Amino acid sequence: MIYKTARYRVKKEELEFVKKAISEFVDEVKKNEPDTLSYDAYMEDDDLSFLHFMSFKDREAEEYHRATPHVKEFVKKLYPTCDIEPYFTEIKLIRSNKRIEGEYYGAADNTC
């Protein structure tokens, strides 16, 4: 599995526009990307900064995600609204209590 985060901060006057764009975007991910296993968007306490967590079945699923029309449309909407443009980090899961198909998941070797 591939795990990534994206962080950015938007201009105050763009907040409602961005929240709507995020909602529409995540709906498209859900409808069109079965191998994007999760996509969660959070707003931080300052009400202008955002953190997105995403997990993909494999590298192919991540590449597919980046190439979709809804990602390109979201990027076109989002970037002009930002004080701090999105930056992405690939992360490694150590352990989680999240369930997929009734099973807990964690490190790939299940040693945690």
pLDDT in tens, the chain (112 residues): 999 999 999 999 999 999 999 999 999 999 999 999 999 999 999 999 999 999 999 999 999 999 999 999 999 999 999 999 999 999 998 888 876 555 444 545 444 4
Where exactly are the structural domains of the chain? 2-102
* pTM (two decimals): 0.85
Q: Which class in CATH covers the domain with range 2-102?
A: alpha beta
Exposed / middle / buried, residue 92 (Cβ in 10 Å: 0-12, 13-18, 19+): exposed
CA 1 to chain centre: 14
